[in-house]
Chains A and B, each alone.
Chain A
Amino acid sequence: DVKVTQSSRYLVKRTGEKVFLECVQDMDHENMFWYRQDPGLGLRLIYFSYDVKMKEKGDIPEGYSVSREKKERFSLILESASTNQTSMYLCASSSPGQGNNQPQHFGDGTRLSIL
């Protein structure tokens, strides 16, 4: 079974702090994704990566950056945390496939609160 591990289940940070959310997958997947989930809005894609050192902006990249130095690890960075970034953050991975339409495997999520 695919295992996607997010470093923290719950995190509380202060406005203006630089915040790192870590995600590691153990299935040698090329593709990794960061989403945020808010009530009534579903899952919104922040950034994704199809290869090491490669990154692409998703639908809501503002205020975030990412790092993919190793294939198994994809980090989400909040450069200067703000209260509107309080949310559930979900990491996912998938293997490459035709049209990149492979199922995504999710971590348990990090519930981040910015005070």
Chain B
Amino acid sequence: GQQVMQIPQYQHVQEGEDFTTYCNSSTTLSNIQWYKQRPGGHPVFLIQLVKSGEVKKQKRLTFQFGEAKKNSSLHITATQTTDVGTYFCAIYGNKLVFGAGTILRVKS
């Protein structure tokens, strides 16, 4: 079945530094979703990307879908302690398949 590789597995940054997580697929994707899970919480939907080369912003978060629709990234500018958690990408084949997630820790 479809799979998506997410990197890095873990990142520890100083507050104010930027952060990026990447998702890569070997096949062309119809769309990609991003979720955030706070420590002790459940995944919460952030955004869905559908179009080739699409870029969407939510405050300090920038989401990008590759031109070939095989990869995607989530970039956080100037991280804050409220950004801590695990960020997942998820792709649809006949069902939603999640990446392994990137754990973000922020040192204040």
Contact = CB atoms under 8 A, between A and B. Distances in A.
Given A41-B100, A42-B99, A45-B95, A103 B42 contact: no
B96 A104 contact: yes
Contact of A103 (B6, B9, B45, B99): B45
Contacts of B45: 103-105
Contacts of B94: 100
Contacts of A107: 42
A45 B96 contact: yes
Nearest to A6: B42
Contacts of A104: 43, 45, 96
Contact of B42 (A41, A48, A59, A109): A109
Interface residues of B, number: 22
Contacts of A90: 42-43
A43 B43 contact: yes
A100 B94 CA distance: 8
Contact of A101 (B30, B41, B44, B100): B30
Contact of A42 (B30, B41, B95, B100): B100
A105 B35 CA distance: 10
A60 to B, nearest CB: 12
B95 A48 contact: yes
A54 B6 CA distance: 32
B98 interface: yes
